[in-house]
Amino acid sequence: MKVVVCIKRVPDTETHIRISETGTDIDTRGVKYIISPYDEFAIEAGLRVKENMEGGEVSLLTVGASEAQETLRNGLAMGADKATLLRADSYMDGLGTAKALAVELKNSNAQLILFGVKAAGSDQQQVGPMVATLLDLPCVTGVSSFKFGDTVVICRREIEGRVEVVEADLPAVLTITKGEYEPRYASLKGIMAAKRKPLEEREASFNQSGIRIEKLSQPPTRGAGRILEDGPDAVPELVRLLREEANAL
Amino acid sequence: MARFQGIDFYDLDALFSEEERMIRDTVRSWVEDRLMPIIGQAYHKHRFPTELIPELGELGVLGANLPEQYGCAELNNVAYGIIMQELERGDSGVRSFTSVQSALVMYPIYAFGSEEQRTGWLPKLASGEAIGCFGLTEPDFGSNPAGMITTAKQTSDGWLLNGAKMWITNGSMADVAITWAQTSEIGDVKGIRGFVVPTDTPGFSAKDQEGKLSLLASDTSELVLQDVELPDTAMLPGGSEGLKNPLMCLTQARYGIAWGAVGAAMACFDEALSYSKERLIFDTPIGGKQIQQVRLADMLTGITQGQLLCYRLGRMKDEGTMTPQQVSLAKRANCDMATNVAREARRLLGANGILVEYHSMRHMANLESVYTYEGTHDVHSLILGQALTGISAF
Ligand SMILES: Cc1cc2nc3c(=O)[nH]c(=O)nc-3n(C[C@H](O)[C@H](O)[C@H](O)COP(=O)(O)OP(=O)(O)OC[C@H]3O[C@@H](n4cnc5c(N)ncnc54)[C@H](O)[C@@H]3O)c2cc1C
């Protein structure tokens, strides 16, 4: 089966984010970039499809600046077979990204197109469903695990208070969330092999954005924690505060 | 605590290749996710975390700089060093395991072994399916292995080994012991040979060294060889230069230790720095006090110097120009630096610093072994002194 996993290069979730002087972007100096963690679930899911079916191909696709080649190579090191970078140098919103991806995916013959449920860092949760719409394919979001029937994919979604099982005709678009697919470590041999795998960079066929970021600012700093007395004597006060101040009870 | 982000004050990242950085990040994540949650308990219980061995094999860190044809990752030496740094950021015991397996067991089999020994052992050692140890030191011969009294006598169809080895890392859990023995007169440095000894050979036994206060998450054992009969093929055929051969292995291992020590120091500094910002005493963080700032500045200076030494040493090793004396300088300097950083970090942490929940005292205790093995600090002083003056002071 041919699987395409769409991934995004994002600042490391451990990075301390600073706002750049323009006030509309983050300060990228000293920032380490990673594959968005949800996209790592998607890569893992794709690799397992290939392993379980003992065949097929997992390719990676991203829209971004040339630096995203490094991100793709990280995914190749995990075990994907090949990668394509659609270069877009200016900011793209969800729809712009989806359009660029859809042009590429249209003739890809992919049976399964995987995304992370959202990109860490921007949290928009748009691109997967938009790509599905543009390609007129069924889309299942927030999938924690899936398996295949004859011509369908059967997805498990863990939603508020229940588990939903959804069946979608293939080809399909899935967005993957934390669940079954704990991402593997890239082995050191995999890292060395990644250098030799095909990685293509092309101009994205679409690079426009209908949305502009007006302003970025730091969230308010969290106040310091408070320590009540030690031991059981502190419990009544703790319960009172949880009820009256934190409204947690 | 937040995930470990490394210490890189001089932007060495800019000098590493993309693969070297990826390897670093992978091993760093593995240490964070798999080793850090259990290392405190393992140390406390005096237990090497054997459950992690298959994962180390799968990651590809065992014998990582040896060729792919033997199941290894065939990385360059800088990447190999980075692995050692990241593992020792976790614990010196886990780095020691990996160093011994890679530099003291796989390296001699690769460098001095027959093709049969290579194909027979290296893939299993790379995957972690087999574990190896290296027996050079003896109860009465530490810094002076030339005097060893473990003997190998030629028999009609092979060899007969007798003797004892002391302080042997991985000794009790090993499947194979690279054992160095005298085949000629005691004291003849040219007569020392290496043997590949399967540990299930009759007459071979190993016993845990009890009573350690350092490197507790590591197997340190005594080996006894009593009339151990080996076939001709057990000798490492390429190791015909006597004591020089085990010393070549030590150069490989010392190279890794120079990097590893920096990793341990980074862990201690990282812990001390974050603690200094959080711990309020006299109403301000202790990091706001001049004394602690001097401490932190000294630690960072030592770490940065150590990193630069390793980086340059690694590039020279990859170019094939590195000398054993340069390795001695780095092993000596970085172990000394790391023991100091660990001790100062422990002190900065106050009483918490003596707990196993924090890492500095574990590193501090571990590093006393690292300072001692593979040539003590003093021995490396003498190696450098001899190189400088031409006069041996051993
Ligand atoms: C945890 C641990 C693991 C080890 N693992 C292994 C292993 O896997 N395989 C192995 O073969 N060995 C191993 N060793 C042994 C280690 O390499 C030796 O302990 C080391 O070489 C020192 O030998 P020694 O302990 O006999 O000390 P000695 O040689 O007795 O030294 C005692 C003191 O004298 C000093 N000294 C020695 N010679 C001189 C001199 N000429 N001039 C001035 N001072 C001198 C030393 O610096 C030291 O301070 C391990 C040791 C430890 C602690």
Residue positions counted in chain A: 249
B40 close to B356: Cβ distance less than 8 angstroms? yes
Q: What single-letter amino acid sits at B52? A: L
B187 close to B199: Cβ distance less than 8 angstroms? no
CA distances from B16 to B24, B305, B331 (A): 10, 16, 21
Has residue A159 been placed in a domain? Answer: yes
- In chain B, residues with a C-beta closer than 8 Å to the C-beta of A187 are 26, 58-60, 73
Whether the pLDDT of residue B92 is over 90: the answer is yes
Has residue A128 been placed in a domain? Answer: yes
Give the residue on B whose Cα is nearest the Cα of A191: B19
Average pLDDT value for residue range B291-310 = 98
Pick from A172, A142, A136: nearest CA to A2 = A172
- In chain A, residues with a C-beta closer than 8 Å to the C-beta of B60 are 187-190
pTM (two decimals):
0.92
Has residue A213 been placed in a domain? Answer: no
Query: % helix / strand / coil in chain B, to the nearest 5?
Result: 55, 15, 30
Closest atom of ligand 1 to CA, residue B375: 21
Q: Read off the tokens for B30.
A: 């593995």
Residues linked to residue B280 through DSSP beta bridges, in sequence order: B285
**Alpha carbons B169 and A146: distance in angstroms, whole number:** 46
**Alpha carbons B267 and B179: distance in angstroms, whole number:** 34
**Alpha carbons B9 and B87: distance in angstroms, whole number:** 20
Q: Does B2 touch chain A (CB under 8 A)?
A: yes
Distance from CA of B372 to the nearest CA of A (A): 30
Has residue A22 been placed in a domain? Answer: yes
Longest pairwise C-alpha distance within chain A:
68
| Ligand 1 pocket, residue B137 CB under 6 Å | yes
CA distances from B194 to B182, B241, B242, B362 (A): 9, 10, 9, 34
For residues B201 and A21, the model is more confident at B201
pLDDT tens digits, B208-224: 999 999 999 999 999 99
Q: Read off the tokens for A91.
A: 């900011």
| Number of domains within chain A | 1
Average pLDDT value for residue range B307-333 = 98
Give the residue on A whose Cα is nearest the Cα of B80: A188
CA distances from B167 to A65, A187, B122, B138, B376 (A): 54, 32, 24, 8, 14
Q: What is the CA radius of gyration of chain A?
A: 21
Interchain contact, A188 vs B23, CB within 8 Å: yes
Closest atom of ligand 1 to CA, residue B169: 8
Domain CATH number, residue A56: 3.40.50.620
Per-residue pLDDT of chain A (249 residues; tens, 9 = 90+): 999 999 999 999 888 889 998 888 889 888 889 999 999 999 999 999 999 998 899 999 999 999 999 999 999 999 999 999 999 988 889 999 999 999 999 999 999 999 999 998 888 899 999 999 999 999 999 999 999 999 999 999 999 999 999 999 999 999 999 999 999 999 999 999 999 999 999 999 988 888 888 999 888 877 777 777 778 888 888 888 888 887 777
Closest atom of ligand 1 to CA, residue B135: 11
pLDDT tens digits, B132-184: 999 999 999 999 999 999 999 999 999 999 999 999 999 999 999 999 999 99
Whether the pLDDT of residue B1 is over 70: the answer is no
Q: How far is CA A216 from the centre of its chain?
A: 22
Has residue A56 been placed in a domain? Answer: yes
**Alpha carbons A9 and A30: distance in angstroms, whole number:** 15
Give the DSSP letter of residue B269: H
Has residue A184 been placed in a domain? Answer: yes
Has residue A233 been placed in a domain? Answer: no
| Ligand 1 pocket, residue B394 CB under 6 Å | yes
Give the DSSP letter of residue B48: -
pLDDT tens digits, A166-198: 999 999 999 999 999 999 999 999 999 999 999
Whether the pLDDT of residue B75 is over 80: the answer is yes
Domain limits for position A199: 2-203
Torsion angles phi and psi, residue B321, rounded to 5? -110, -5
Has residue A144 been placed in a domain? Answer: yes
- ipTM for the predicted complex: 0.88
How many residue pairs from chains A and B have C-beta atoms closer than 8 A?
Answer: 46
Give the other-Cβ count within 10 Å of A233's Cβ: 9
Please give the share of chain A, as a percent, with pLDDT higher than 70. 100
